[in-house]
C-alpha cells in the first residue's frame, strides 16, 4: 500500500459537521436535501452532540465547520460553537443568513471564527427567491453586513443554476461591496435535491462557458476578494482525492462519518466509536477497493453523484467501540 499524507496525521485537520437536515428554506439546489421539517429522526441530541465536541477537543482537531441544513435552527447550536471555540478550535459557520442578525454576530465574534459563509444565489429578490423558496435576499445581505460589522471574516458562496447563472457578475460585485474576502463557486453539484431537479436546473454548455469566462475575468481584478472555483466540479475534486484524500471528516447529523461528499459510503458512527477510531476508519477507507472503485466511477460518470445521499455502511465500518468488537 502506498503512503498517503493523511497517514501521518493523528487527527483530521478539519471536521465538516452537518448538525441538522432541518432548514428554514427549500433551496432547489440543496445537496443535503434539507428543508423545513426535514430533520432526521435519529439526529444527535444536545448531550450526544456535546460528547462529540469533547472528543474533538481531546483529539486536538484544529478547525470545525458547522453547517446543515441551517445550523442556526438547532437549539444547541451555540452550545456546540461556544464549547469548541472556548477550547481554541477555529470555526467556520455556513448559513443562509435568514436568522443571522447583529445579536448572533456579536455572540459569535467572541469566538475564534475563521469565517462566516453566507449563500447569495442571485442579486435580485426575484431570482434569489426562485432558487431559494422562502428566502429573503435582503436578510442575506443584512447577515453579510452583520458579519463584517462584528469584525468577522466573510465568505460568499454562489451555486450556479439555469435560474441564476446570468446573475453571477452582479453577485460577485455585490460580494466585493459587502466586504467578502472570498467568493466560492463551481459547477452545480448533482447531489440531493439538485439531482432530482437536474433537468430543469443544470446550466447549458453555453451558460457554463460564459460563467467560466466571467470567473477568469473577475479573478484578474486587483482586489481583496479571492475567487475560488477550483476544483470546478465534484469529479475533479474526487480525482484528486483518490491520490491524496483530504484530511477532513464529514460528519452527518446522526453522527455517521462519510468517506466523501460525492460517495454514499459510511465508515464510522460517532455514537458508538471515538473520533480517533473514526479517523482511522476514514484512512482505511481510502485503501478499500470498493471505495476506490466507486470514487473512480464517480469521476467518469457524473450521474453517479446522485446516489451520494443513499448512505450505506462499509462492511468493516467502525460502528461500535473497539473494545466491544
Confidence of residue 324 (pLDDT cuts 50, 70, 90): very low
Residue 1 pLDDT: 36
Within a 10 A sphere around the Cβ of 192, how many other Cβ atoms? Answer: 19
CA 37 vs. chain centroid, Å, equals 20
Give the C-alpha separation, 163 to 130, whole Å. 8
pLDDT tens for 263-279 read 999 999 999 999 999 99
Average the pLDDT over 71-98 and give the result: 98
pTM (predicted TM-score): 0.94
On the question of a cis peptide bond just before residue 272, with omega within 30 degrees of 0, the verdict is no
Q: Is the pLDDT of residue 321 over 60?
A: no
Confidence of residue 294 (pLDDT cuts 50, 70, 90): very high
Q: What is the CATH number of domain 14-324?
A: 3.20.20.70
CA 225 vs. chain centroid, Å, equals 20
Confidence of residue 3 (pLDDT cuts 50, 70, 90): low
Residue 320 pLDDT: 54
> What contacts 53, CB < 8 A, 6 or more positions away?
80, 83, 84
- The closest of 155, 177, 164 to 214, measured between CA atoms, is 164
Mean pLDDT of all residues in the chain? 94
Where is average pLDDT lowest: 115-124, 153-162, 229-238? 229-238
pLDDT tens for 167-176 read 999 999 999 9
Average the pLDDT over 223-243 and give the result: 90
More confident residue, 206 or 316: 206
Q: Is the pLDDT of residue 260 over 90?
A: yes
- The closest of 314, 308, 306, 309 to 269, measured between CA atoms, is 314
Percent of the chain scoring above 90 in pLDDT = 88
Percent of the chain scoring above 70 in pLDDT = 97
More confident residue, 290 or 222: 290
Residues in the chain: 325
Confidence of residue 322 (pLDDT cuts 50, 70, 90): very low
Positive or negative torsion for Cα 236, 240, 243, 249: negative
Confidence of residue 106 (pLDDT cuts 50, 70, 90): very high
Residue 35 pLDDT: 96
Domain boundaries, given as residue ranges, for the chain: 14-324
Residue 323 pLDDT: 43
Residue 302 pLDDT: 87
C-alpha cell at 97: 443568513
Contact 43, 206 (CB under 8 A): no
C-alpha cell at 21: 437536515
pLDDT tens for 16-48 read 999 999 999 999 999 999 999 999 999 999 999
* Residues linked to residue 95 through DSSP beta bridges, in sequence order: 118
Amino acid at each position: 500500500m502506498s503512503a498517503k499524507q493523511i497517514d501521518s496525521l493523528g487527527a483530521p485537520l478539519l471536521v465538516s459537521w452537518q448538525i441538522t437536515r432541518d432548514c428554514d428554506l427549500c433551496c432547489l439546489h440543496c445537496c443535503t436535501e434539507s428543508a423545513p421539517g426535514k430533520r432526521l429522526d435519529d439526529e444527535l441530541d444536545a448531550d450526544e452532540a456535546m460528547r462529540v465536541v469533547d472528543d474533538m477537543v481531546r483529539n486536538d482537531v484544529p478547525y470545525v465547520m458547522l453547517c446543515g441544513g441551517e445550523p442556526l435552527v438547532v437549539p444547541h447550536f451555540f452550545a456546540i460553537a461556544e464549547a469548541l471555540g472556548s477550547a481554541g478550535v477555529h470555526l467556520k459557520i455556513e448559513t443562509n443568513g435568514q436568522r443571522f442578525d447583529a445579536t448572533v454576530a456579536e455572540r459569535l465574534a467572541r469566538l475564534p471564527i475563521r469565517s462566516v459563509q453566507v449563500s447569495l444565489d442571485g442579486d435580485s429578490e426575484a431570482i434569489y427567491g426562485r432558487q431559494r423558496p422562502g428566502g429573503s435576499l435582503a436578510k442575506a445581505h443584512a447577515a453579510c453586513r452583520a458579519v463584517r460589522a462584528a469584525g468577522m471574516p466573510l465568505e460568499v458562496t454562489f451555486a450556479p443554476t439555469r435560474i441564476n447563472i446570468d446573475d453571477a457578475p452582479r453577485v460577485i460585485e455585490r460580494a466585493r461591496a459587502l466586504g467578502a474576502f472570498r467568493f466560492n463557486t463551481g459547477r452545480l453539484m448533482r447531489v440531493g435535491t439538485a439531482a432530482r431537479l437536474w433537468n430543469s436546473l443544470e446550466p447549458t454548455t453555453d451558460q457554463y462557458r460564459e460563467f467560466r469566462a466571467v470567473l477568469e475575468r473577475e479573478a484578474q481584478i486587483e482586489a481583496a476578494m479571492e475567487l475560488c472555483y477550483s476544483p470546478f466540479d465534484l469529479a475533479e475534486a474526487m480525482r484528486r482525492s483518490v491520490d491524496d484524500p483530504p484530511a477532513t471528516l464529514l460528519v452527518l447529523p446522526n453522527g455517521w462519518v462519510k468517506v466523501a461528499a460525492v460517495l454514499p459510503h459510511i465508515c464510522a458512527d460517532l455514537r458508538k466509536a471515538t473520533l480517533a477510531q473514526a479517523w482511522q476508519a476514514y484512512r482505511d477507507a481510502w485503501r478499500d477497493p470498493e471505495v476506490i472503485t466507486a470514487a473512480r466511477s464517480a469521476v467518469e460518470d457524473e450521474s453517479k453523484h446522485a446516489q451520494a445521499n443513499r448512505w450505506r455502511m462499509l462492511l468493516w465500518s467502525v460502528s461500535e467501540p473497539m473494545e466491544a468488537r
